[in-house]
């Protein structure tokens, strides 16, 4: 999808993807019929290997399997004998795909409605339940969903997916995320995600999650290698994942180098801009931090905030910028959930010990997941000798042997 509408030579795109051949196609659909046209193109010579058209009923879900077997045969490879197919209602599958598309983006909050729609249409659709669990988990971990009301929902959805499909990698991946995000149990999370990887070694999301588990317990060298492998499989869904792990490990120059590489393909990706801002903040470069945040506001459709943010920096420097961000989040917290740990981070950067500690203690009480990463954030370094801060840190998991 990163290359949709991009006018670049196919061999160049294929090299970036590590692909020997590329499938191109189109789909036209009305209420009762669909017409699919596919062609297989050899990447190095840009020559056609195979082409076919399919006219099918709009509810026929087998066309992709038929095409896959035809392509495999043309490439002289053995197509795996398909397992008995479960019927998936097309409307449920379409809702699931829409949720899956939105889930890892800055529009994550919209994905939950689609996953719920998919489970409503087809209650035995395990992938949709796993997607719903991941929606809750992502929201809790990002500090945009209240853990006090959403932890139970994540665990129920993950357990439902696992009960429906115990041999589905995505079910174990969702359960792993629930153990990490809800229970702060990295040992159980690692067991489940390793099971997911065993079932599907090429699932980038499971590898990403394994890197997160390793990062939480401070095993950064291993985590970075796992995230690299995940990025090799899918460099587009979470383009900032490797840079985020470098950030967590306080390897700021490596993080910036990886971000610059990813931005060649996606210069306006919100996740890359967000992580760029966090790296500059951690390095103490507040002008660059401000510029990254300003661009983030622009690409997400909020130019007035970009203008206000720049004005706050011009008038008050780093402190004025941080105060503007804090005030903005405090106003938003009157309307929707904002993690107390996020608010604590602004007070920490402003050097306000009492507010920082009080909000961290509130975050611990709420079971706000983003508190798991406070030891890796230099904003809290000035608190390391404080007994209240030490008590908070001792409450957090730092080992897989727990």
Q: What is the pLDDT of residues 189-210, one digit of tens each?
A: 999 999 999 999 999 999 999 9
Residues 373 and 393: their CA atoms lie apart, in Å, by 10
What's the whole-number average pLDDT of the chain? 91
The confidence band for 141, taking pLDDT boundaries of 50, 70 and 90, is very high
> Of 372, 365, 84, 367, which is closest to residue 216 (Cα–Cα)?
372
pLDDT (tens digit per residue) in 39-75: 888 777 777 777 787 777 766 666 777 777 777 776 7
Q: Is this prediction's pTM over 0.85?
A: no
Tokens encoding 146 = 């209240």
Confidence at residue 376, expressed as pLDDT on a 0 to 100 scale: 95
pLDDT (tens digit per residue) in 146-169: 999 999 999 999 999 999 999 999
What angle in degrees, to the nearest 10, is found between the helix axes of 387-394 and 353-366? Answer: 20
pLDDT (tens digit per residue) in 321-366: 999 999 999 999 999 999 999 999 999 999 999 999 999 999 999 9
Please determine, for residue 16, whether its predicted confidence score (pLDDT) is greater than 50. yes
pLDDT (tens digit per residue) in 207-246: 999 999 999 999 999 999 999 999 999 999 999 999 999 9
Place of tokens 């990887």: 197
CATH of domain 89-238: 1.25.40.10
Between 376 and 76, name the one with better pLDDT.
376
Confidence at residue 10, expressed as pLDDT on a 0 to 100 scale: 74
Q: How would you class 34 by CB atoms within 10 Å of its CB: exposed for 0-12, middle for 13-18, buried for 19 or more?
A: middle
Confidence at residue 402, expressed as pLDDT on a 0 to 100 scale: 42
Residues 335 and 331: their CA atoms lie apart, in Å, by 7
Residues 6+ apart with CB under 8 A from 104: 138, 237, 238
- Going from N- to C-terminal start, the domains of the chain cover 10-74, 89-238
Q: What's the CATH number of domain 10-74, 3.40.50.10070, 2.40.160.40, 1.10.1040.10, 3.30.420.40?
A: 3.40.50.10070
Residues 329 and 263: their CA atoms lie apart, in Å, by 28
Please determine, for residue 104, whether its predicted confidence score (pLDDT) is greater than 50. yes
Please determine, for residue 5, whether its predicted confidence score (pLDDT) is greater than 70. no
Confidence at residue 219, expressed as pLDDT on a 0 to 100 scale: 96
Residues 135 and 238: their CA atoms lie apart, in Å, by 15
């Amino acid at each position: 999808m990163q290359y949709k509408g991009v006018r670049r030579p196919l061999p160049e795109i294929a090299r970036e993807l590590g692909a020997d051949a590329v499938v191109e196609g189109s789909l036209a659909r009305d209420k009762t019929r669909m017409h699919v046209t596919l062609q297989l193109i050899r990447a190095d010579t840009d020559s056609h290997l195979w082409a076919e058209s399919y006219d099918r009923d709009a509810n026929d879900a087998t066309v992709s399997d038929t095409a896959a077997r035809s392509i495999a045969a043309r490439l002289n490879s053995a197509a795996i004998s398909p397992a008995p197919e479960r019927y998936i209602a097309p409307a449920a599958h379409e809702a699931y795909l829409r949720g899956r598309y939105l889930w890892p983006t800055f529009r994550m909050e919209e994905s939950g409605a689609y996953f719920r729609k998919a489970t409503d249409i087809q209650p035995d659709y395990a992938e949709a339940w796993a997607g719903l669990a991941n929606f809750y988990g992502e929201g809790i971990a990002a500090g945009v969903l209240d853990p006090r009301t959403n932890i139970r929902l994540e665990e129920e959805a993950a357990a439902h997916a696992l009960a429906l499909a115990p041999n589905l990698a995505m079910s174990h991946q969702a359960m792993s995320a629930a153990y990490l995000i809800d229970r702060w149990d990295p040992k159980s999370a690692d067991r489940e995600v390793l099971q997911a990887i065993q079932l599907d070694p090429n699932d980038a999301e499971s590898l990403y999650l394994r890197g997160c588990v390793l990062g939480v317990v401070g095993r950064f060298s291993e985590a970075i290698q796992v995230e690299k492998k995940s990025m090799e499989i899918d460099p587009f869904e979470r383009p900032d994942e490797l840079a985020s792990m470098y950030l967590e490990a306080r390897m700021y120059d490596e993080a910036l180098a990886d971000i610059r590489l990813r931005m060649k393909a996606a210069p306006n990706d919100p996740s890359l801009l967000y992580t760029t801002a966090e790296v500059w903040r951690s390095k103490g470069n507040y002008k660059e931090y401000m510029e990254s945040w300003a661009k983030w506001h622009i690409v997400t459709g909020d130019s007035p905030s970009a203008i206000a943010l720049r004005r706050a920096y011009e008038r008050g420097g780093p402190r004025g910028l941080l105060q503007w961000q804090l005030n903005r989040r405090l106003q938003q917290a009157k309307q929707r959930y904002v993690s107390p740990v996020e608010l604590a981070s602004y007070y920490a950067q402003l050097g306000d010990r009492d507010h920082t500690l009080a909000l961290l203690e509130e975050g611990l009480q709420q079971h706000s997941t983003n508190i798991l990463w406070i030891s890796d954030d230099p904003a809290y370094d000035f608190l390391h000798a404080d007994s209240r801060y030490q008590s908070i840190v001792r409450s957090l998991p730092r080992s897989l042997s727990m």
